[in-house]
């Protein structure tokens, strides 16, 4: 059978990884796909580097339009990133009847609905395994392996940069700023790490997972996004004293009222496997009603781990290219006509447990005032920690862990606690998930 022809848009880290793995494992991949898969064309602005990397095997151009408009190309791999030119090229490729593979979570989380609609109308596939958790086949697991289940919740460490920073903060007792500088010097964090450290990258990925877990449209604009920039070393230490680790989690939960979709630093019990995922590794925990909890762990970034996901998509498309579009796995795991309008809940309505840290005067009645405020709002205390005041000091930190409550109750409680004359400054609030 004639080879399937692929056009690659962008031959940076992941693009060159894809090129190399396809070449190295060509025979094995052909045995799996049933046809050989050839990168026939590469578009990159750095044409010299692209030529060097492809070594005469593929046609190299600097205009990506030449790839998406070439009638000989069956599949376009988009590895440009962002939502500007990448969106135009993906839509053009679809309009030209080409299947698309993309690692672009930002594009899918923000414009996925439009892209999938266009693909459905054209009868082509848009595959995106590499968009979430790099080499971990989490899209495949959610969309196919767990298809019998009503997915109840997903919680994932889906950003390696922030997990690396949090691991370093815990190991070395350093504050966020110091570790970020170190991570940048070592090349672990981007020169502009905003999307990573502010939680945006994780929220893109959580949005995609929520969509395929519950069969809802992509709704990044409704996701709650909080990064790790304000996290203090003392909170990591106090959490540790109470038996918890702090991780930046992407969380999505099904509730009777709607879907929770949120990214924020989260305390999790240190005995959970996912609490022990360190460095730049990723892990996703999925709770299904039939299977129970399943955990997926691996490299969430890097040339060959991400190429592993890109090529899995290429093989899938190669196998299914001749199948009737109606009989393929739907883009969002559910049939397009069965996409649900379950609402994404506003943050005030989400339910979770909380870690509260407050700086108080160490004198009789202070704790009673705080606990009365919590009791009046029906917030139950799970654990408490009070530090000895330092030498010659009259103020100290109190840390309270609460049982589950609605976020709006905690916000009301914090407002009242901060108004107490014995409490100095702001109350630090972190969310806590038992993940049991
Ligand atoms: N920047 C991401 C991370 C990898 O740090 O995990 C690509 O999604």
DSSP 55-92: TTSSEEES-HHHHHT-TT--EEEE-S-SSSHHHHHHHH
The whole-number pLDDT of residue 182 equals: 87
Give me ligand 1 centre to Cα 203, in Å: 11
Q: With a cut of 90, say whether residue 360 has pLDDT above it.
A: yes
In this predicted model, what pLDDT tens digit does every residue of 366-422 receive, in sequence order?
Answer: 999 999 999 999 999 999 999 888 889 999 999 999 999 999 999 999 999 999 999
Mean pLDDT of the chain: 96
The whole-number pLDDT of residue 203 equals: 98
Residue/partner pairs of 232-237 with CB below 8 Å, 24 or more apart: 232/175, 232/176, 232/428, 233/169, 233/173, 233/174, 233/175, 234/357, 234/397, 235/355, 235/357, 235/428, 235/430, 236/166, 236/169, 236/170, 237/173
Nearest CA to ligand 1 atom 4: 301
The whole-number pLDDT of residue 185 equals: 86
Q: With a cut of 80, say whether residue 298 has pLDDT above it.
A: yes
Among 300, 308, 310, residue to substitute to test ligand 1 (most atoms within 8 Å of Cβ): 300
pLDDT band with cut points at 50, 70 and 90 for residue 188: confident
The whole-number pLDDT of residue 107 equals: 97
Q: With a cut of 80, say whether residue 189 has pLDDT above it.
A: no
Rounded-to-integer distance, Cα 208 and Cα 131, Å: 9
| Lowest mean per-residue pLDDT among 45-49, 183-187, 261-265 | 183-187
Are 44 and 79 spatial neighbours (Cβ–Cβ below 8 Å)?
Answer: no
Among 160, 198, 202, residue to substitute to test ligand 1 (most atoms within 8 Å of Cβ): 160
Q: With a cut of 80, say whether residue 344 has pLDDT above it.
A: yes
Q: Enumerate the active-site residues.
A: 205
The whole-number pLDDT of residue 191 equals: 77
Average pLDDT, stretch 186-208?
A: 91
Dihedral in degrees, nearest 10, Cα atoms 6, 7, 12, 18: 0
Give me ligand 1 centre to Cα 97, in Å: 30
Average pLDDT, stretch 261-283?
A: 98
Residues within a 6 A CB radius of ligand 1: 159-161, 196, 201, 300-301
Q: Which atom of ligand 1 approaches the CA of 161 most closely?
A: 5
Q: With a cut of 80, say whether residue 20 has pLDDT above it.
A: yes
Domains of the chain: 4-137+303-338 (3.40.50.720), 145-298 (3.30.360.10), 350-432 (3.30.70.260)
The whole-number pLDDT of residue 113 equals: 98
pLDDT band with cut points at 50, 70 and 90 for residue 345: very high
Nearest CA to ligand 1 atom 8: 301
The whole-number pLDDT of residue 163 equals: 97
């Amino acid at each position: 059978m004639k080879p399937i022809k692929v056009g690659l848009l962008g031959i940076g880290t992941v693009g060159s990884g894809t090129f190399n793995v396809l070449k190295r494992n060509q025979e094995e991949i052909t045995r799996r796909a049933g046809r050989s898969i050839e990168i026939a064309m590469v578009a990159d602005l750095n044409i010299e580097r692209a030529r060097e990397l492809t070594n005469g095997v593929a046609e190299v151009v600097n205009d990506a339009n030449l790839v998406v408009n070439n009638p000989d190309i069956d599949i376009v791999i988009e590895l440009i990133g962002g939502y500007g030119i990448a969106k135009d090229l993906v839509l053009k490729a679809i309009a030209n009847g080409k299947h698309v593979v993309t690692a672009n979570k930002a594009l899918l989380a923000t414009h996925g609905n439009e892209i999938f609609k266009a693909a459905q109308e054209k009868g082509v596939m848009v595959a995106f395994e590499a968009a979430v958790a790099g080499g971990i086949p989490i899209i495949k697991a959610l969309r196919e392996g767990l298809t019998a289940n009503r997915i109840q919740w997903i919680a994932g460490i889906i950003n390696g940069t922030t997990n690396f920073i949090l691991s370093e903060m815990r190991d070395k007792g350093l504050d966020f700023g110091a570790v970020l500088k170190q991570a940048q010097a070592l090349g672990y964090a981007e020169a502009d790490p905003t999307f990573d450290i502010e939680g945006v990258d994780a929220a893109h990925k959580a949005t995609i997972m929520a969509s395929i877990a519950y069969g809802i449209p992509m709704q990044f604009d409704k996701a709650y996004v909080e990064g790790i920039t304000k996290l203090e070393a003392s909170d990591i230490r106090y959490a540790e004293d109470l038996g918890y680790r702090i991780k930046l989690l992407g969380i999505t939960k099904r509730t009777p009222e709607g879907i929770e979709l949120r990214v924020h630093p989260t305390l999790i019990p240190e005995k959970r496997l996912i609490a022990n995922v360190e460095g730049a590794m990723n892990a996703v925990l999925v709770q299904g009603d039939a299977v129970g909890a399943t955990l997926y762990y691996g490299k969430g970034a890097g040339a060959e781990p991400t190429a592993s996901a890109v090529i899995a998509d290429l093989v899938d498309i190669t196998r299914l290219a001749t199948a009737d579009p109606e009989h393929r796995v739907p883009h969002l795991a559910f049939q397009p006509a069965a996409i649900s309008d379950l609402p994404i809940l506003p943050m005030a309505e989400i339910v979770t447990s909380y870690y509260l840290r407050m700086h108080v005067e160490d004198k009789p009645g202070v704790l009673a005032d705080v606990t009365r405020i919590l009791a009046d709002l029906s917030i139950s205390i799970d654990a408490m920690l009070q530090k000895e005041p330092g030498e010659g000091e009259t103020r100290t930190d109190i840390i309270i862990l609460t049982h589950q409550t609605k976020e709006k109750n905690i916000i009301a409680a914090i407002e009242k606690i901060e108004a107490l004359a014995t409490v100095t400054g702001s109350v630090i609030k972190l969310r806590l998930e038992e993940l049991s």
